[in-house]
Structure 1
Amino acid sequence: MTDTSEADNERNREIARNEEDKQITGSIRVSTWAVAVVVIVGGILFTLGWLALR
């Protein structure tokens, strides 16, 4: 391979690593939001159930 092809391949690998990092970060962010929503909805339902039983 030529130096240019090797440089292009290394650049493509670096781009792929960056994209993978972005996807992981995005997945973590979505998971965090999902857990927060479940906790809030669960708290509301628990409170409503507790009030209904009083």
Structure 2
Amino acid sequence: MKTCEPKALRYRFLHIPARLTTSGRRRHLRLPETWPWTQAAVAAFTAVMAIPLLT
């Protein structure tokens, strides 16, 4: 995914077959194991969630 063009990257992330669930103030991203970009999506979601909230 590092070498993807912006259009392809946008397409892949907008068409993620996932569900975002919450449970006890925690967010969980449910992805199918057979989806080709599962690892990249999990890494991106983890990086975004690691950013501290500004209050």
Alignment TM-score > 0.5, same fold: no
Q: Name the larger-Rg structure.
A: 1
More helix by share: 1
Structure 2 length normalisation: TM-score? 0.32
User: Which protein has greater RCO, CA pairs closer than 8 Å, 6+ apart?
Assistant: 2
- TM-score, length of structure 1 as denominator length: 0.32
More strand by share: 2
